[in-house]
Amino acid sequence: MAHKLAEFGSYLKQARADARIESQNDAVEALNGIHVNVSQSLIAQYETGRITDPDLEVLLGFSKIYKKDYMEILWHLVKEKYAPPRGGWSEFDAIRWELWKTGLVRWKEIARVKELEKFQLQAKAALFKEKEVLNLPGVLKWTREFPDLKQLWVVAPNFLDDEDVDVFETVCYNIIKRNVTTIYFVTQADTDKGGRFWSLKERFSKKLGKKAIGHIHGVPLTRDALTWIQSDIVVANPHQRAEAIAFQYFRRHGRPTYAIRMDDVDVKVTVELLSRWATTNDSDFRKLQERFY
């Protein structure tokens, strides 16, 4: 005997409540009104998960009277009905299910314009297919495990790394365990005494001692430089121009949250611009770079 679809049943019951259809009898009346013949007892079986092979016509009827996207209904049904019998979905697969669910979110308008939802979905599909995307924990893991990492550039016009414990610990790990040099490109105010980067460097010195010397450096960006540096970027091994890899962050609520891998051509241009500017304006940067060439 097939197991009950309890979660799917609860979803249907909640969908009815959300549609303000108060009773199962009211649902029967609404379905009969669109020529879907059901009984109150059948609705009850659906809502308690006892119907394990739902009827297509009934599901389409639910979609209409509950004003639910039919694909959303299928998502809830398939996720439970076809879950592995032992242990359920793995953590990785659960994330993939959430990715599918995210694609079902409807947008009535985008940037105050209606009927753009199709184009947004096309863009998202292309993005997921073509681009390597990470969240902040993913980028930190990437920097900890990037093969033969020697140097890391962190471009942060709006520096916030001093607020994140995981970022701090990752930089410490890379210095202690991997001998990585991390160079921050931040505003002049952040590098000045009492500034945010200055305070962070003090924390590194307390934790790492002499190890921090020569492994942490801040390049102060002038107002002119900030006109062409607008986004947060992290670059692995920028001294190896042909092999450098970078991610560009996108902010949410003012903080770097998601990152997309940059195209190789864009990485090369960005590194060249930063290197040329820092070499001209920061003598300590020039000395540090001599170690890598």
Per-residue pLDDT band for 162 (boundaries 50, 70, 90) equals low
Q: How far apart are CA 174 and CA 292, in angstroms?
A: 17
What is the Cα–Cα distance from 199 to 75, expressed in whole angstroms? Answer: 49
User: pTM above the 0.85 mark?
Assistant: yes
pLDDT of residue 32: 97
Cα dihedral 17→20→26→28 (10° resolution): -60
CA–CA distance, 95 with 137 (Å, rounded to integer): 15
pLDDT in tens, 232-287: 999 999 999 889 999 999 888 878 889 999 999 999 999 999 999 999 999 999 99
* Residue with token string 């042909």: 242
Question: What is the distance between the alpha carbons of residues 23 and 40, in angstroms, rounded to a whole number?
Answer: 9
Residue 164: what pLDDT? 82
Q: How far is CA 150 from CA 36, 52, 143, 175, 182, in A?
A: 67, 57, 10, 10, 9
What pLDDT, on the 0 to 100 scale, is given for residue 283? 92
Higher pLDDT, 221 or 268: 268
φ/ψ (deg, to 5) at 253: 55, 35
Q: Which domains does the chain possess?
A: 6-105 (1.10.260.40), 133-292 (3.30.870.10)
At 73-93, the pLDDT tens digits run 999 999 999 999 888 999 999
Q: What token pair was written down for 251? A: 């902010």
Average pLDDT in the chain: 92
- List, for residues 44-53, the tens digit of each pLDDT value: 999 999 999 9
Whether residue 2 has pLDDT greater than 70:
no
Reported as a single tens digit per residue, the pLDDT across 183-208 is: 999 988 888 999 988 998 999 999 99
Say what percent of the chain tops pLDDT 70: 98
pLDDT score for 1: 45
